Amino acid sequence: MKVLYLLNSNGVGGAEASIRRMVDRKFVQGKVALLWNHNNVQKNFWNGREVTQITDANSPLVGALKSIFAIPKYLKGQNFDAVQSQLKGADLIFAFLIFIGLIKKDFIYVVSLRNSYDFYYGNGFLNRLIGRVHKFFINKAADVIVGVSKQDIDRFTQAFGSKFKVIENSVDISNFKVKEKSLLTKNIKVVLVGNVKYRKGYDRLSSLIQYLNKSYPDYRFTFSIAGGIESEQFKTEVSSLAGGNSVIEFLGKVENINELLVSSDIFLSLSREEGLPISVLEGMAAKLPILLSNIPAHSLILDPTVSEYILFNNDKEMQETFSNLIESQTLREEIIQAQYKKLLKDFSLDRMCSEYLQSYKTGCTDETTASN
């Protein structure tokens, strides 16, 4: 079975990482097509995979315009059995081309929505306007519309009906290194993974660093942020928060995230909004104790027996959960073991690939809709 994975650009984030894992699994003959260039590129990310750059554009607007003509040309003679688009630009352009007849639809078309309902269809006038157009065209063109998390399942089902289904994100643990012990010294390395932008919440480090400076003056904390810089202004704001016994380092795009994770002591996510974050699953796979902001995407990942020790709603709770984690090896071990079991049960790559394969073969049947 031949499947085309269509992405906005050669930028790198969770959407691109999930596609790379699926291509590497070789459960289908997968090809990747990118619509334009991105200024935040990780070298060698797509090495060894069959990837085509559809246009030479360096901006989304020019890339979108060029793609209208370049995509139909690229598809000629390819004979794909299924096409899967991920990210709003790729979804909108491809669905539009099907709708106006520039692409003859003789394949199953799958749209994978990578974030919350409000990320696509809420949060401000312009986003809602674009979201209405996006929703209209993918509803007309797609055979299957996939959500990567059970959050907002009722709202997505109301919008897309029986076309909508949930296929949760996953992580490949077959060659994943794990941290052997959760012992801590007074030099603690905290890892945060995600591109540097407001939505990731890195500015919330302010209160935590102030608390650590006061409560643990003889410790040293290094906050390592792995991700591309999408906002220099936001990076400058976050950089200014370091001080006292706390250091913030920006690592940029990290090619071997596994090595970074096993060399760290705690995984921290401060995100304001997510789909189903692969970075958190990778932290679980590396057997790191995790601390997460209490948003729906995070709470749905957790084992209920330990969620109260992981999630925080505000600065005070963040400080308390962080302190508890530092001071109790027993708690760290309980979190690690519970979350690793949860990962094996619910977030395996084989399970995810099997569910996508079913969609490529049959579209969205009664057995695979969100209601199940």
Domain ranges for the chain: 2-170+348-368, 187-346
pLDDT of the residue at 368: 39
Across the chain, the runs of DSSP E, i.e. the strands, are: 2-9, 29-36, 51-53, 82-86, 108-113, 144-147, 164-166, 187-193, 220-226, 246-252, 266-269, 290-293, 311-312
pLDDT of the residue at 38: 85
User: Strand pairing of 51-53 and 82-86?
Assistant: unpaired
pLDDT of the residue at 372: 38
What is the distance in angstroms between the CA of the first residue and the CA of the last residue of the chain?
26
Residues in the chain: 372
pTM to 2 decimal places: 0.83
Please tell me the number of Cα atoms within 13 Å of 22 on its side-chain side: 25
Given CA atoms 150, 156, 162, 165 in this order, what sign does their dihedral have? negative
Site of tokens 């990780």: 42
- Span 223-239, mean pLDDT? 93
Distance, CA of 128 to CA of 134 (rounded, Å): 10
CB atoms under 10 Å from CB of 342, counted, come to 18
Residue pLDDT, tens place only, 2-19? 999 999 988 778 888 889
Asked if the domains 2-170+348-368 and 187-346 are classified in one and the same CATH topology, the answer is yes
Site of tokens 């749905």: 300
Distance, CA of 9 to CA of 57 (rounded, Å): 10
Rg (CA), the chain: 21
pLDDT of the residue at 367: 41
Structure tokens at 294: 């209490």
Distance, CA of 11 to CA of 41 (rounded, Å): 5
Task: Find out whether 147 and 166 touch, Cβ atoms under 8 Å.
Answer: yes
Q: How far is CA 197 from CA 9, 174, 201, 228, in A?
A: 18, 31, 8, 9
CB atoms under 10 Å from CB of 110, counted, come to 25
Structure tokens at 311: 């999630």
User: Strand pairing of 290-293 and 266-269?
Assistant: parallel
Q: What secondary structure letter does DSSP report for 286?
A: T
pLDDT of the residue at 135: 96
- Span 52-59, mean pLDDT? 93
CB atoms under 10 Å from CB of 308, counted, come to 10
Whether 365 shows a pLDDT value over 70: the answer reads no
Cα dihedral 303, 306, 308, 311 in deg (nearest 10): -60
- Span 68-95, mean pLDDT? 96
* 6-15, 147-156, 297-306: least confident range: 6-15
Given CA atoms 299, 305, 310, 315 in this order, what sign does their dihedral have? positive
β-partners of residue 166 are 147
Read off the pLDDT band of 164 (50, 70, 90): very high
Pick the CATH number of 187-346 from 3.30.70.20, 3.40.190.10, 3.40.50.2000, 1.10.150.120: 3.40.50.2000
Read off the pLDDT band of 189 (50, 70, 90): very high
Q: What secondary structure letter does DSSP report for 367?
A: G
pLDDT of the residue at 45: 87
Distance, CA of 226 to CA of 253 (rounded, Å): 6
- Span 103-123, mean pLDDT? 93
Q: Could you name the CATH architecture of 2-170+348-368? A: 3-Layer(aba) Sandwich (3.40)
> 26 burial class (0-12, 13-18, 19+ CB within 10 angstroms)?
exposed
Given CA atoms 278, 125, 150, 114 in this order, what sign does their dihedral have? negative
CB atoms under 10 Å from CB of 292, counted, come to 25
